[in-house]
Chain A
Amino acid sequence: MSKQHVSTTINGDEVEFLCEPHQSLLEVLRDELGLTGTKEGCATGDCGACSVMIDGRLVCSCLMLGVEAQGVEVTTIEGIAGADGLHVIQQKYLEHAALQCGICTPGFIVATKALLDRNPDPDETTIRYWLAGNLCRCTGYDKIVRAVQDAAQNLAYEA
């Protein structure tokens, strides 16, 4: 089968790529575009390591085809920090030691961004349910939840 041409926006940049029709967006990001910050933990939609935002919505990139990126805006972990430095969420994950091995961290940070974009003041239960699609085997989630709470407070303070 011939490769498909796709025009999309990734982290604010206009990007064109060719991909096989069967390739997942995760494979395209990692293997074709070199954006390896998005991780594969399962490729079946069960771990959230591959989380990205599509037009602001949280999506498992392993469950989406590369060709479906046509005309949308993709945000990956590489697009979370700005020119002026780390995003508050990233800063809080660091301060709270909310990562041990760090393989789940890109997915968690993208998921946290998606949460706080839509709900700037989530309670603990909301945070835990929102992040239930992201597996972390190292931290037991305690420090992750605290980092998210602290980031939310900081963002509220800045706003």
Chain B
Amino acid sequence: MAEALDLKAIGTRPVRPDGIDKVTGRAAFGADLHLPNMLHGMVLRSPHAHARIKSVDLTRARAAEGVLAAVSGADFPGGAGAGDLAKNVIARDKVLYHGHAVAAVAAKTLLQAEAALDLIEVDYEVLDPVMSLDEAMADGATLVNESQHTNGDTSKPASNVAATQRFERGDLAAGFAEADVVVETEHRVPMAHQGYIEPHACTATANEDGKATVWCCTQGHFDVRSLTAQVLGEKVGNIKVIPSEIGGGFGGKTTIYLEPLAVKMSQMTGRPVKMTMSREDVFRATGPTSGTWCKAKIGAKKDGTFTAASAWLAYEAGAFPGAPIGPGCMSVLAPYEVPNLVIEGNDVLVNKPKVCAYRAPGAPQSMHAMESAIDELARQLDMDPIDLRLKNSAAEGTVAPYGPRFPAIGLRECLEAAKVHPNYTAPVPEGAGRGVAVGFWFNIGMQSSAEVRIAEDGAVTVMEGSPDIGGSRASMALMAAETLGVPYEQVKAHVGDTESTGFCNVTGGSRTTFATGMAVVQACEDIIAQCKQRAALTWDLDEEQVDWVDGEAVPKPGVNADVKPLSLADIARGAGRTGGPLLGRASLNAQGAGASFSCNFTDTIVDTETGKVDVLSFTAVQDAGRAIHPSYVEGQMQGGAVQGIGWALNEEYIYDDNGVMENAGFLDYRVPVASDMPMIDTEIIEVANPFHPYGVRGVGETPIVAPLAAVSNAVRDQLGFRIPDLPLSPPRVLEAIDEQGGH
């Protein structure tokens, strides 16, 4: 059990290894690379939300001053196998959203590239855009993709519903019949963007030997390598990807947009090509998460015991299939024991950008619906909302709606801690409302590698392949220091490129500290095994007679040897005599990523004159399994909470009738600023994950899940009626207040 461990490094809060570079401006991010002879690439984007491309003529652009290359979809024949990915990178027969890439140019200066875009002639046949779930799912709807059949079933007519998902347990009708109280709610939440502050950027250099190097900001450079290779029809081995520092991703930097265009144009010109997106491009053509339409229904006995629940979820996929309905369905009832349930999800095409992962993708929307319904249920039962959740809480042994049985989980502990938290026992401020909600993310493992190298003075270098978005180098260094028994300051952690370190999947799904951390721990254990062997050789003992204690090899108790302990430095210094340099390695496909649950509560106050909602306090309680660097765990909880609050209160994609996003900038797509927020109080719960050597659970995703419903429930508490849809922006809140006043 991790509780029993006597930890020295883990749980401390040292300065991160990459910190100084990041406070001095030295750290190099995606757009910070400048190479000699570099060209500037720019993308021509579709002015229509839905149109057939009849022709693209690049002749005049190619002839323009300073232009050395111009490409359109036709220049990427090798990408046929890459399917939707390739079509999203650059359109072929149809443009499917306003801002869809149609062509690109590379010129000596940015101005020349920009001017050349105006010379590209595209002939479109404009089609009706499909802009809402209702429209997309209606009978006789215009089709975003004429050959899309639900779940690939060609015996049925083509449909904008690309896929469906269903979980079922027990007898739903019987369950609802058993209930004393049944609540039903329905909610719509528009598209929202991850809003990372760094726009996408990359620089590609293709060599004469056919090899290309890509420098870019990404959550997963190994994925950039394979995806770029797919779109270009290249061999993976011909592409090297160097991850720059990354200025936020939240899931939105797990795919590619510019990279194949830059590589292609570098191949065509023999010169480096740099491409960066504007903020407007970022909003129009990358990342958003699904707009959703969710129905929730839940029934309980008088004592609060849930008897049945159902959820119907429809998620906008954007232009290509792939809305996160799987996780949406998995999450919606995961925190509870529910004997009878039906959960249905629909992945629906619309003429909006292809959605990308956004922190706990799919869970905030579905859980907003169910946690709102549960809040109403608590009111009807006259129960405290935490007590109602505790009564039905999942625990070790509960079978999740999606199949597996939970091992040790920390939901109950979170709820109990919230119940006695001073912010909860304090009265609700005069005139304000309080809302409670639960959050969940299952977390993922996947593949990681790590290497640990020991210099001749004992300095430890950890080399791994998970881009560091939020301090993960510090976590890796802490786990290495703990395992090896050396001070944190003796360890440096690095993120290697695709050729200097072993394969790692993306930084995402809250897997890095768990899975890559596990690889680092195992690579350190490899070092320890080697050190014990080297010490045995030095002392003329058997390996089994040597122990590793506090960073030193010592003879095991009872072994009769008159020798001085050998430190990591001692062994490294003499490594040439005992078998060569110390190099530890591990690679794994991590299993057992423990689910992380949370309970959030908030006090908000609505100005009934303006409709503006102010957040007075926000408290996040979450199970981290084991907080390796508690400050960065708190940081995840606080950052996720504020993203969730922004989503609840302000953030939304607003479209005009032609399918053009009207608020593609930070002025009108308003993310929370410092003056909008209070301090975000955190409490970390540690119910160790039995599948990680130190008990780690991923913590990055869960924090964004509960705030949507917590804020909605708080506003409901004050107003006395529910506004089901988000965001709770001043116009919507005011309209709802006016409507209520009219009744």
Give chain B residues whose Cβ lies under 8 Å from the Cβ of A118: none
Are A101 and B196 interface neighbours, CB within 8 A?
yes
- A102 and B471 CA atoms in complex are apart in Å by 10
> Does B327 count as interface, using CB distance less than 8 angstroms?
no
> Does A129 count as interface, using CB distance less than 8 angstroms?
yes
Minimal Cβ-Cβ distance residue in B for A92: B23
Name the distance in Å between A144's Cβ and chain B's nearest Cβ: 7
Give chain B residues whose Cβ lies under 8 Å from the Cβ of A19: none
Chain A interface residue count, Cβ-Cβ cutoff 8 angstroms: 57
Are A140 and B24 interface neighbours, CB within 8 A?
no
Q: Given the interface contacts A46-B667, A94-B20, A97-B13, does A140 sit within 8 Å of B25 by beta carbon? A: no
Are A132 and B675 interface neighbours, CB within 8 A?
yes
Give chain A residues whose Cβ lies under 8 Å from the Cβ of B743: none
Are B25 and A38 interface neighbours, CB within 8 A?
yes
Are B24 and A77 interface neighbours, CB within 8 A?
yes
> Does B236 count as interface, using CB distance less than 8 angstroms?
no
Are A40 and B638 interface neighbours, CB within 8 A?
no
Are B673 and A135 interface neighbours, CB within 8 A?
yes
Name the distance in Å between B112's Cβ and chain A's nearest Cβ: 12
Are A102 and B245 interface neighbours, CB within 8 A?
yes
Minimal Cβ-Cβ distance residue in A for B250: A137
Interface residues of A in 35-85 (CB under 8 A from B): 35-44, 46-47, 49, 76-78, 80-81
The answer, among B31, B196, B640, B674, for a CB contact under 8 Å with A127, is: B674
Interface residues of B in 656-715 (CB under 8 A from A): 665-667, 671-677, 679-680
- A37 and B470 CA atoms in complex are apart in Å by 18
Are A99 and B23 interface neighbours, CB within 8 A?
yes
Name the distance in Å between B42's Cβ and chain A's nearest Cβ: 14
> Does B32 count as interface, using CB distance less than 8 angstroms?
yes
> Does B564 count as interface, using CB distance less than 8 angstroms?
no
Give chain B residues whose Cβ lies under 8 Å from the Cβ of A35: 25
Q: Given the interface contacts A44-B667, A144-B674, does A104 sit within 8 Å of B197 by beta carbon? A: yes
Give chain B residues whose Cβ lies under 8 Å from the Cβ of A47: 197, 279, 666
Q: Given the interface contacts A41-B197, A49-B197, A100-B471, does A93 sit within 8 Å of B248 by beta carbon? A: no
- A104 and B673 CA atoms in complex are apart in Å by 12
- Per-residue CB proximity of B21-43 to A under 8 Å, as 1/0? 01111111101101000000000
> Does A109 count as interface, using CB distance less than 8 angstroms?
yes
Are B673 and A132 interface neighbours, CB within 8 A?
yes
- Per-residue CB proximity of B613-639 to A under 8 Å, as 1/0? 000000000000000010110111011
Are A41 and B279 interface neighbours, CB within 8 A?
yes
Give chain B residues whose Cβ lies under 8 Å from the Cβ of A139: 635, 638-639, 642
Give chain B residues whose Cβ lies under 8 Å from the Cβ of A105: 22-23
* CB-defined A-B contacts under 8 Å, sample of 6: A40-B31, A90-B24, A94-B20, A140-B639, A140-B642, A142-B634
> Which residues of chain B have a CB within 8 Å of any CB of chain A?
13, 15-16, 18-20, 22-29, 31-32, 34, 111, 194-199, 245-250, 278-279, 469-471, 629, 631-632, 634-636, 638-643, 665-667, 671-677, 679-680
The 6 closest A-B pairs by CB, nearest first: A37-B25, A103-B247, A102-B22, A140-B642, A140-B638, A97-B631
